[in-house]
C-alpha cells in the first residue's frame, strides 16, 4: 500500500465539517521542489530589484554631478571671457602708459632703459593664450613700475633743482642800478663793473632768500656792509648786501621765500637799497635772468 499524507482543513465555523486532502509522497516532493524553486526565483528577483535600485541611485548621482560640472564649465567660460576683456583693457592702458612714459622721458631728460618693445606694451595681449597673457601683463607692470620709480626719482631731483634755483628778486622795488658796467656812483667819470643789481627799498625791508640753500657767509664786508652769502647747490651762489640786520648765521639751512635779513645802507652805499648778486659756476650772472616778468615771488 502506498504511503499517503493528509492535510485536514478545519473551518473556523464550528458548524461546518472539516475537510481532508490526501496526497502521495510524489506530490509532496513536487510541492517541496516547487517551493524551493519559487524561493530561489523570489530571492533572485528581490536581489535584482535591490541592485537595480542602487544602480538607478548611482546613475542619478552621476547625472547630477555631470550637470554640476556643466554649470561650472559655463561659469568658467564666462570668467574666461571676462578675463579676456580685462586683459584687453589692461593692454590698452599699458599702451597709453607706454606712450605717456615716452613723453615724460623726453620732458624730464631721463635715460630710462625699459628694455625691449615687448616689455613696453607694444604687442597685442589678445593674440596669446590668457595665462601667458597675464604673465606678460605682470612682467609689463613690473617694468612700468620700475620706469615710474625712475620718474619719481627724477621728479624729486627736478623739484629740488627748482627749489634751489632763484626765481624772483629778494625785495620788491625798482632796479636803481643794473648789472654790468656803470658810471661810478660816488662821482667822477670813471666806470666800474656792477656785479649785481641794486633794488630800491625802504630801510628795514624784509629780504627773502630767492632759493633753498645754506648760509656760507654772514657778517661784515668793507664794501657790502652787512652781507649774506647763500650756496644753493648746482653751482648757484647768491649775495644779499648793505643790510641793517642779519637774521641767519653761517651753516643755517634756508628755504626759498624765507626772510633772512633786513635791508639797510651799510658799507659802501649811497642810500637805502639792497644789492643782490648771483653766481653760476663761479661766473657772475645778471640776477634778472632768474626772475619772472613782474619779479614777484613765484
Ligand atoms: Zn650794488
Angle, alpha carbons 57-58-62 (nearest 5°)? 120
Q: How far apart are CA 105 and CA 111, in angstroms?
A: 7
Flag whether 8 is in a domain: yes
278 Cα to the center of ligand 1, angstroms: 12
Q: How far apart are CA 287 and CA 7, in angstroms?
A: 143
Q: Which of 12-21, 60-69, 130-139, 234-243 has the lowest mean pLDDT?
A: 130-139
For residue 182, the model assigns a pLDDT of 75
Angle, alpha carbons 200-203-205 (nearest 5°)? 80
Choose the final residue of a domain: 104, 139, 163.
Answer: 163
Mean pLDDT across 247-260: 98
- Indicate if 20 and 89 belong to the same structural domain: no
- Indicate if 151 and 179 belong to the same structural domain: no
For residue 115, the model assigns a pLDDT of 46
- Indicate if 190 and 254 belong to the same structural domain: yes
- Indicate if 50 and 93 belong to the same structural domain: no
Q: Which domain holds residue 179?
A: 175-290
How many helices (H) and strands (E) the chain has is answered by 2, 14
The residue count for the chain: 298
Angle, alpha carbons 297-262-166 (nearest 5°)? 30
10 Cα to the center of ligand 1, angstroms: 152
275 Cα to the center of ligand 1, angstroms: 4
For residue 218, the model assigns a pLDDT of 98
Cell 648746482 appears where?
234
- Indicate if 111 and 56 belong to the same structural domain: no
Flag whether 192 is in a domain: yes
**For residue 186, what is the domain's CATH number?**
2.70.70.10
Q: State the average pLDDT for the chain.
A: 85
- Indicate if 274 and 215 belong to the same structural domain: yes
Choose the final residue of a domain: 138, 163, 188.
Answer: 163
Q: Which three cell numbers stand for residue 23?
A: 496526497
For residue 94, the model assigns a pLDDT of 77
Choose the final residue of a domain: 130, 163, 196.
Answer: 163
| CB count in 10 Å sphere of residue 151 | 19
The secondary element (H helix, E strand) that includes residue 85 is helix 25-108
224 Cα to the center of ligand 1, angstroms: 8
Flag whether 112 is in a domain: yes
- Indicate if 159 and 200 belong to the same structural domain: no
Q: How far apart are CA 200 and CA 271, in angstroms?
A: 9
Among the listed residues 91, 95, 97, the one whose alpha carbon sits nearest the alpha carbon of residue 133: 91
241 Cα to the center of ligand 1, angstroms: 8
195 Cα to the center of ligand 1, angstroms: 7
194 Cα to the center of ligand 1, angstroms: 6
- Indicate if 186 and 274 belong to the same structural domain: yes
Q: How far apart are CA 167 and CA 131, in angstroms?
A: 53
Q: Which of 30-39, 173-182, 206-215, 225-234 has the lowest mean pLDDT?
A: 30-39
Of all residues in the chain, the percent with pLDDT exceeding 70 is 87
Domain count within the chain = 3
User: 209, 230 in Cβ contact below 8 A?
Assistant: yes
For residue 83, the model assigns a pLDDT of 80
- Indicate if 114 and 43 belong to the same structural domain: no
For residue 131, the model assigns a pLDDT of 66
- Indicate if 285 and 181 belong to the same structural domain: yes
62 Cα to the center of ligand 1, angstroms: 99
Among the listed residues 164, 189, 185, 187, the one whose alpha carbon sits nearest the alpha carbon of residue 176: 185
Flag whether 142 is in a domain: yes
Residues in the 5 Å CB sphere of ion ligand 1: 198, 275
177 Cα to the center of ligand 1, angstroms: 7
178 Cα to the center of ligand 1, angstroms: 8
Mean pLDDT across 80-99: 79
Flag whether 15 is in a domain: yes
Flag whether 236 is in a domain: yes
- Indicate if 150 and 182 belong to the same structural domain: no
- Indicate if 44 and 124 belong to the same structural domain: no
Among the listed residues 171, 181, 186, the one whose alpha carbon sits nearest the alpha carbon of residue 271: 186
| Confidence band for 120, pLDDT divided at 50, 70 and 90 | very low
228 Cα to the center of ligand 1, angstroms: 14
Flag whether 191 is in a domain: yes
296 Cα to the center of ligand 1, angstroms: 20
Q: How far apart are CA 32 and CA 14, in angstroms?
A: 31
254 Cα to the center of ligand 1, angstroms: 23
Q: How far apart are CA 210 and CA 212, in angstroms?
A: 7
Could you say which DSSP state residue 196 is in? Answer: S
Mean pLDDT across 125-137: 64
258 Cα to the center of ligand 1, angstroms: 22
Flag whether 181 is in a domain: yes
Amino acid at each position: 500500500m502506498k504511503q499517503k499524507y493528509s492535510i485536514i482543513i478545519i473551518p473556523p465555523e464550528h458548524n461546518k465539517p472539516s475537510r481532508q486532502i490526501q496526497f502521495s509522497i510524489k506530490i509532496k516532493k513536487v510541492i517541496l521542489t516547487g517551493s524551493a524553486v519559487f524561493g530561489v526565483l523570489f530571492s533572485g528577483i528581490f536581489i535584482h530589484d535591490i541592485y537595480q535600485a542602487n544602480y538607478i541611485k548611482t546613475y542619478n548621482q552621476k547625472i547630477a554631478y555631470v550637470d554640476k560640472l556643466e554649470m561650472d564649465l559655463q561659469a568658467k567660460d564666462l570668467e574666461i571671457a571676462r578675463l579676456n576683456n580685462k586683459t584687453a583693457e589692461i593692454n590698452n592702458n599699458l599702451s597709453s602708459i607706454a606712450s605717456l612714459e615716452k613723453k615724460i622721458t623726453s620732458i624730464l631728460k631721463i635715460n630710462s632703459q625699459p628694455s625691449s618693445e615687448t616689455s613696453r606694451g607694444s604687442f597685442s595681449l589678445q593674440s596669446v593664450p590668457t595665462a601667458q597673457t597675464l604673465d606678460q601683463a605682470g612682467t609689463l607692470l613690473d617694468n612700468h613700475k620700475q620706469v615710474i620709480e625712475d620718474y619719481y626719482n627724477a621728479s624729486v631731483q627736478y623739484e629740488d633743482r627748482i627749489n634751489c634755483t632763484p626765481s624772483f628778486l629778494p625785495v620788491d622795488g625798482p632796479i636803481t642800478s643794473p648789472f654790468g658796467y656803470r658810471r661810478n656812483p660816488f662821482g667822477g667819470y670813471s666806470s666800474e663793473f656792477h656785479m649785481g643789481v641794486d633794488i630800491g627799498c625802504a630801510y628795514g625791508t624784509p629780504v627773502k632768500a630767492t632759493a633753498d640753500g645754506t648760509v656760507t657767509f654772514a657778517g661784515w664786508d668793507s664794501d657790502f656792509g652787512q652781507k649774506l652769502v647763500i650756496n644753493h647747490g648746482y653751482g648757484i651762489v647768491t649775495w644779499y648786501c648793505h643790510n641793517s640786520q642779519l637774521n641767519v648765521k653761517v651753516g643755517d639751512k634756508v628755504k626759498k621765500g624765507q626772510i633772512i635779513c633786513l635791508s639797510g645802507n651799510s658799507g659802501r652805499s649811497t642810500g637805502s637799497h639792497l644789492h643782490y648778486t648771483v653766481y653760476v659756476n663761479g661766473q657772475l650772472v645778471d640776477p634778472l635772468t632768474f626772475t619772472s616778468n613782474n619779479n614777484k615771488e613765484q
